[in-house]
Structure 1
């Protein structure tokens, strides 16, 4: 920013110094208040292979601001109180994330509060000049994992025809492919999601810095998504084909090295090459024209007051969260239900499928036998929900992260429960499948939707309601000649009201 101040008049240069000092102080206080979320963000950037590209977003934002230094030097920063609305909106988002145990919402809210501090302390005119760098800061927040399941299916859809064309006999069962001598799982890590997420961040940057036409920008962004998906499908096919020619150990080992270090660079270069011919923005073109950015007619506020209000408004939300938090006691032991017509034959054996809830206060897994095959009942009780102890946390629930049970497909609900077909390939020879039905009881609500669980949890935390939550699962193996859905439905009817079962499990 020093180069900017040299170009500016002494009065404007002094204004920049004052406002930048105020912004740095406010940002430092906000980061200190939300240090837990900052630490979590940095940990994700450093350890996650999906979001490692986020480490480069900060330097890129700094470079984007530096590119605008001459134009910014021709503007006069002014504190602007309407920017506090963005601080408040970010704080509210953080509070929703804190109440629902959603780290994405907390991290998004933190970034929005810092964006709001820039708008408030530098003013609307300067914020318009910094519009793209400010917006690009949203890529600091790890997001996009929801695209993994559809990308897994797309990868399978690309691989299967190529295997048939190459003469390798292959069948697919959800995300499992049996090709030649081996079983292959198109896991989340193989879906190409991390590649697509990084390419979207890269594509947005190139679209802004290398194109003026919005049509060309949109076309380049589309290419940035389509090419990685197709390339990932070809990579997966190549891995399976190589395994058929050599061995699965040799093929997957080579694939991980190539995919991690070479493949991303090749596809990135290919995307740039496709768009290069249509670049229509000169490399030295100004990022914006300061003459077109008129200062707003109103909204001016003194810099010291604006700084204090920014910090105070950001600090309100953690105080609200602390004021409405309260401990919920879960007493006693979890009683074993006795559904009529079913016989309790003991706990679910070790090694069999069980839901994974490491943060639950109480758990129960019982195997029953009725007219058909055994049906397992699993219950997990949470006294309250938060980071590390909640329903719907990544890597918990029906499918444990990197566990041996894999999702095959979702099926039609049973008595309001979500139903999933899962499988566990055994030594590469065959697959054992199970049907799992899931209900959640949160407060007075029975649902199978994890989003509804988060909403009810938010309401309880924000307004002081009961925070107990219960996960209830019924599961049974899928075997020929037997209706697994009918067995689960019969067990659900014998258990009676799911709401009552959840209340009893929670000690109500």
Structure 2
């Protein structure tokens, strides 16, 4: 009898229970993957176009390799957590559908990953979730974040890298003048552009930090420490690169510094940063932890003492129904035509307001490329000998990934200006009042009084994050995602002029309120 039992056990595993489970799981994953193809193509394109995410294909291959190494878990499904799996699927379907409706590309990828996780949890319980989770946790680190978060992080890192590299240059005796992200060495001005912000190193280094943490059998807090070390090294090394570039400019000529700059901006500098990260992580490990190299999540021991549990029919049935219904729902949402309201072009925007005549201006080509505006107006309104009021109105007929207003709160410091005072005030507009941001900024002896706000479907919004929420809600409740950033600024000769400048700028703003609806629809 003992010689027959193993055969019966194998037949039970490879016959009824596991084969049906795996077959239905493969069918469900295939169905949602077919739906995901358009988004996968955009993600692949981002991996190829954006250097910050050029490590995406490598991380995807590692994720597949992890699945292969952990495949033994597929033979030991259980029923723990299957109901939670259905909940994860429902949440993923909602997030994915909302992302389609609101035109937000980034969260579609995260919704899809959550959907895959929910399917595995529903079909095989906690054991199947353990099988797929390490692979899925790698992939969010190669998904481009929302553009406004990316811009905020980029501007912040630009300024930090500029400040740190300038302090080092001064420490070694180099005479240097800093104007925001412009480093003036006298004979040459270096600009720390967005490409030099360090994101091209930060994102890959964080992803590789996660991967490195998976190689060792270590506590969760130490895995987080690895990620923190990788991020810190990426940021510091980017400042070192800018510092060395400036130093070479000081002791050589520009030709040599350009070659040096490009050499360390590429793979050589990145690999050096990665080696430093590995060294620092290695130092934090105990002797026993160092010996666990390769025994982290890369492989798992075969479960013993537990046979496969039968498939939970109700959760699996619900999951399959959701996947089947999800296909026509997502297809319908994808083919909904956005509503773009009729409006007048800024070409006809009045050049005379409150007796002030405007001198029209153009944004630099680089800024136009970054902002990707549908339409804009930039004019300097003058009267007599007083300082001009500059009005900028940037309009987006559809806000989506990469096409949203950039917050002045982030852009102002990158131009060398310091925010001395920032508050939200209310100004009358017809029978009501609307919130706007009032900012006092300075650079040396120069000072500016700035008003700005976001305007979406007739709603005036001061807070940047509330503007994103309003965009999400508008995409859910309507087919409109249009919006605009309005900014007015007035130079000040001294702080004593502030009360008069406030009165003048507030009066001009109320006239702008009256004119704007024809160009930024309510």
1:456 paired with 2:465, answer: no
Aligned mates of 1:387, 1:96 — CA distance in 2: 14
1:161-172 map, 5 Å: 161-172=167-178
Instruction: Select the residue among 36, 39, 55 that pairs with 1:37.
Output: 39
In structure 1, the residue matched to 2:138 is: 136
CA distance in structure 2 between the partners assigned to 1:344 and 1:257 by the alignment:
50
Give 1:344 shift. 1.5
Gaps of 5+ in 1: 1-5, 424-431
User: Which residue in 2 is equivalent to 1:446?
Assistant: 460
Aligned equivalent of 2:433: none
Q: How far apart in 2 are the matches of 1:267 and 1:439?
A: 41
Q: Is the 1:61–1:136 Cα contact (8 Å) retained in structure 2?
A: yes
Q: 1: distance between equivalents of 2:223 and 2:80? A: 32
Structure-2 separation of matches of 1:353 and 1:223: 34
Find the aligned partners of 1:186 and 1:86 in 2 and give their Cα distance. Answer: 43
Distance 1:422 1:123, change over 3 A: farther
Contact 1:58-1:137 at 8 Å conserved across structures: yes
The root-mean-square deviation of aligned C-alpha atoms, in Å, is 4.2
2:265 maps to which residue? 259
1 or 2, which has the higher helix percentage?
2
Name 1:195's counterpart in structure 2. Answer: 201
Superposed CA deviations along residues 304-347 of structure 1, whole A, max 9, x for unmatched, are 6643422424653554576695443336875427532x422443
Aligned to 2:24: 22
Decide which moves more: 264-273 or 89-98.
Answer: 89-98
Q: CA deviation at 1:483?
A: 6.3
Is the contact made by 1:99 and 1:457 (CA closer than 8 Å) also made in structure 2?
Answer: no
Q: Say how many residue pairs are matched.
A: 487
**Alignment of structure 1 residues 428-507 onto 2, 5 Å:** 437-464=451-478, 468-475=482-489, 487=501, 490-496=504-510, 499-506=513-520
Partner deviation per Cα, 1:214-251 (whole Å, 9 max, x = no partner):
44334333322222322222222111101111223431
Change (3 A) 1:325 1:345: closer
TM-score (norm 2): 0.78
What's the CA shift string for 1:270-293, capped at 9, x where partnerless? Answer: 222333352342535753663598
Structure 1 contact 355–398 (Cα < 8 Å) conserved: no
For 2:432, the equivalent position in structure 1 comes to none
Given that 1:437 and 1:474 are in contact with CA atoms closer than 8 Å, whether structure 2 keeps it comes out as yes
- Please state whether the residue corresponding to 1:123 is helix, strand or coil: helix
Cα drift, residue 421 of structure 1 = 6.5
Q: 1:382 to 1:132 in 2, by over 3 A?
A: closer
SS in 2 for 1:496: helix
In structure 2, distance between residues paired with 1:413 and 1:266: 41
Equivalent residues in 2 for 1:251-290, closer than 5 Å: 251-276=257-282, 278=285, 279-280=289-290, 281=292, 283-284=294-295, 286-287=299-300, 290=303
Residues 1:312 and 2:318 are matched in the alignment:
no
**Which one of the candidate residues 430, 437, 440 is aligned to 1:417?**
437
Q: Which runs of 5+ in 2 are unaligned?
A: 1-6, 426-435
Match among 197, 208, 214 for residue 214 of structure 2 = 208
How many angstroms apart in 1 are the aligned matches of 2:345 and 2:196?
A: 44
Task: Give me the whole-angstrom Cα distance separating, in 1, the residues matched to 2:220 and 2:259.
Answer: 42
**The 10-residue stretch of structure 1 (275-284 or 260-269) with the greater mean CA deviation from structure 2:** 275-284
Give me the TM-score of the superposition, normalised by structure 1.
0.80
Higher deviation after alignment, 480-489 or 371-380: 480-489
Question: 1:361-376 residue pairs with structure 2 within 5 A?
Answer: 363-370=376-383, 372-376=386-390
Deviation at 1:91, TM superposition (A): 2.8
